[in-house]
């Protein structure tokens, strides 16, 4: 894939670990028994994707294999909390879809977890770990000297794939060098590269068209050729970006010999790639009429453009270079957009979180001589517990007992001294 344009990238993301809570006791002159004063650890920074209309490629994210946010700072004495880790904010184009790749199921279908469809929309792709509580948090009237603190939670870590499907109301399609980029530069604020040779456009360009009563987004899709749906030329790389447009403006070169043949060739590629595209509303714009004689223009006006699914396609004869008839074309586009119903079943904009796939219940099992516990609350608690600290271990066992975890382990045969694994940590089962 060219470095100029990337519409699919994969990389790892690692959120910052939470800082550990501090174990500390007041040491003041004339105070013989100072209480616990260890502060909380700071939360780790998150990795956040931010959608923006200022980008139209994922190429800036294709140079690194891993993106990491800052960890939280450990707590300190005098109940001082550690500083929160800095979030890492990665900008992506509007229209970016985020897929989670499960490392233990590399061949399974990736899970769509976010679809960033609006400018400024954010998605936390990896949440920072919570900072651990300092020991002052655990002081009670009956337990005044807690000599333990919580560990910070590890930040989320996963591999994701980002796929870009340009989001625009209108897609400009057609063969290379028919004037799509020139038209976009005339009708919008976009400034695409324009030159007199094929495949000038190597990346979809976006522009906003402002009319008196409305505005809409237009995408200039790089030139397609016959065989594009099968990977020929640049087409297979860009056809996916047409999927999300609501109307297609099919730009044809008025000075070419077989305009109807050009029209049929592009529509065949659309239909081969995705049959739904064959029914997408189209408007034909025959460009470069400033180069035609009066007789040539009269001959073109006799042509009818239809497909198997589209009849009576509107035809406009324009000159992007001189702006002739461009305004009537835009008014027709606006009229058709306003007449189109909004598809409420479209999943664009729905954002999933990793918590959607998590169950609140826990499960216990036995494999060989070892017992296993799975559950989000149980895994969270053990990751925050320093198992080498007797007081911290005792507190964790008491919490597991209240949750019913120890009772469930006992039901399936666990005895004191048996090894229990939760997440990546192990401890010895005890009756409480």
pLDDT at 138: 92
Local structure of 289: helix, strand or coil: helix
Lowest mean pLDDT among 216-220, 225-229, 315-319, 367-371: 225-229
Parse the chain into domains and list their residue ranges: 1-164, 170-339, 359-428
- Domain 359-428 class, CATH top level: alpha beta
Element at 124 (helix H, strand E): strand 122-126
Whole-number average pLDDT of the chain: 85
Confidence check: pLDDT of 346 > 70 = no
* 293 vs 376, more confident: 293
Confidence check: pLDDT of 355 > 50 = no
* 107 vs 50, more confident: 50
Q: Which tokens hold the place of 350?
A: 């729905």
pLDDT at 197: 41
Quickly list DSSP for 26-43.
Answer: ---TT-SS--B-PPPPPP
pLDDT at 111: 79
CATH number for the domain formed by residue range(s) 1-164: 2.70.210.12
DSSP state of 73: P
Q: Confirm if 171 and 245 have CB atoms less than 8 A apart.
A: yes
Q: Is this model's pTM higher than 0.95 or not?
A: no
Lowest mean pLDDT among 48-52, 122-126, 192-196: 192-196
Lowest mean pLDDT among 40-49, 99-108, 159-168, 272-281: 99-108
Confidence check: pLDDT of 265 > 80 = yes
Confidence check: pLDDT of 243 > 60 = yes
CATH number for the domain formed by residue range(s) 170-339: 3.40.50.300
pLDDT at 364: 94
């Amino acid at each position: 894939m060219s470095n100029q344009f990337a519409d699919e990238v994969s990389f790892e993301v690692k959120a910052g670990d939470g800082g550990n809570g501090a174990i500390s006791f007041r040491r003041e002159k004339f105070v013989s028994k100072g209480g616990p004063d260890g502060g909380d650890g700071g939360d780790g920074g998150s990795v956040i994707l931010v959608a923006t209309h200022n980008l139209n490629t994922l190429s800036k994210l294709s140079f690194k294999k891993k993106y990491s946010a800052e960890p939280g700072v450990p707590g300190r004495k005098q109940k001082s909390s550690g500083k929160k880790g800095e979030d890492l904010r990665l900008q992506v184009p509007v229209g970016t879809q985020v897929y989670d790749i499960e490392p233990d199921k590399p061949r399974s279908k990736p899970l769509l977890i976010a679809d960033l469809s609006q400018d400024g929309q954010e998605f936390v792709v990896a949440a920072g770990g919570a900072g651990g509580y300092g020991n002052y948090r655990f002081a009670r009237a009956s337990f005044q000297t807690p000599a333990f603190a919580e560990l910070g939670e590890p930040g989320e870590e996963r591999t994701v794939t980002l796929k870009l499907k340009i989001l625009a109301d209108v897609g400009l399609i057609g063969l290379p060098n028919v004037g799509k980029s020139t038209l976009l530069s005339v009708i919008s604020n976009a400034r695409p590269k324009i030159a007199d040779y094929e495949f000038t456009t190597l990346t979809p360009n976006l522009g906003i068209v402002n009319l008196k009563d409305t505005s809409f987004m237009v995408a200039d899709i790089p030139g397609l050729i016959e065989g594009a749906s099968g990977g020929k030329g640049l087409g297979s790389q860009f056809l996916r970006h047409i999927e999300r447009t609501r109307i297609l403006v099919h730009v044809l070169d008025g000075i070419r010999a077989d305009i109807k043949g050009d029209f049929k060739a592009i529509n065949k590629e659309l239909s081969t790639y995705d049959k739904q595209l064959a029914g997408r509303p189209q408007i034909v714009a025959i460009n470069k009429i400033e180069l035609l004689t009066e007789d040539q223009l009269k001959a073109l006006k006799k042509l009818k453009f239809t497909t198997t699914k589209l009849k009576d396609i509107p035809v406009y004869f324009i000159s992007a270079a001189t702006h002739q008839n461009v305004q009537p074309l835009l008014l027709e586009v606006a009229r058709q957009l306003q007449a189109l119903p909004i598809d409420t079943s479209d999943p664009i904009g729905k954002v999933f979180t990793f918590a959607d796939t998590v169950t609140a219940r826990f499960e216990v099992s036995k494999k060989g001589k070892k017992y296993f516990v799975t559950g989000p609350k149980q895994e969270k608690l053990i990751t925050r517990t320093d198992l080498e600290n007797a007081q911290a271990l005792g507190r964790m066992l008491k919490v597991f007992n209240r949750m019913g975890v120890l009772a469930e382990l006992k039901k399936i045969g666990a005895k004191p001294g048996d090894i229990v694994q939760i997440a990546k940590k192990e401890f010895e089962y005890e009756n409480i």
